[in-house]
A and B are shown apart, each in its own frame.
Chain A
Amino acid sequence: GENVEQHPSTLSVQEGDSAVIKCTYSDSASNYFPWYKQELGKGPQLIIDIRSNVGEKKDQRIAVTLNKTAKHFSLHITETQPEDSAVYFCAASKVGAGGTSYGKLTFGQGTILTVHP
């Protein structure tokens, strides 16, 4: 089955710096890659996602890049703020053809991001 590796496990940055989290996946058939942010005591919150027909996607201070050949994707956060401190998870999924899609997400192990004021 699919396996997703996420690095680093912890990341500490100063406010205003950039943060990059990287993930690799094993199943070349995976074609949907979301990123989630989880704060203490809350469920994961979808922050950005990318599909395999797109190489890069940006939403304000966050961006995601995908390299299908190398089977890796990355989350970039610019101008980090203390409120960005949380655990970030990458995930991969196989979306079926013919009008159906599957809900099974395979997650990375998570990255604890700490932004120091």
Chain B
Amino acid sequence: KAGVTQTPRYLIKTRGQQVTLSCSPISGHRSVSWYQQTPGQGLQFLFEYFSETQRNKGNFPGRFSGRQFSNSRSEMNVSTLELGDSALYLCASRLGSYSGYEQYFGPGTRLTVT
């Protein structure tokens, strides 16, 4: 079974631009979570989507948003990019059912803001 895939793997953007990252979960998984990883703050939860609905949200500004499609694929968007948004953005999927505790991560998208 294929794992979680994320595109693109690397991205360079300029301050003030916006960016969209994509995530395809493991087949059959209906829940997708997004995390930001930086050397200073570590791994921080952004939000979770299940059945196209945002279920949970971390402490990030409104510039960070996401959505989930009917096929469980998810996208996250960051508007008005700041230098501090440079990070590895990770997507994780899980079954989403009562027994679906385990989260499996993709390889991440490395975003650099200049």
Instruction: Kindly list chain A residues whose C-beta atoms are within 8 Å of the C-beta of B21.
Output: none
Q: How far does the alpha carbon of A104 sit from the alpha carbon of B59 in the complex, in Å?
A: 12
Q: Which residues of B contact A (CB under 8 A)?
A: 4, 31, 33, 35, 42-45, 48, 50, 55-56, 58, 90, 92, 94, 96-98, 100-108
Q: Which of A11-19, A21-29, A73-81, A95-103 contacts B (4 or more CB under 8 A)?
A: A95-103
The DSSP consensus for interface residues of chain A is loop
Given A34-B101, A109-B42, 17 other A-B residues pairs in contact with their CB atoms under 8 A:
A32-B101, A34-B102, A36-B105, A41-B107, A43-B105, A43-B107, A46-B102, A89-B43, A95-B101, A99-B98, A101-B97, A101-B98, A103-B48, A103-B55, A105-B35, A107-B42, A107-B44
With an 8 A cutoff between CB atoms, is A65 at the interface?
Answer: no
Instruction: Kindly list chain B residues whose C-beta atoms are within 8 Å of the C-beta of A102.
Output: 48, 55-56
B41, closest chain A residue (CB): A109
| A50 smallest CB distance to B (angstroms) | 10
Which of A43, A101, A108 has a CB less than 8 Å from the CB of B106? A43
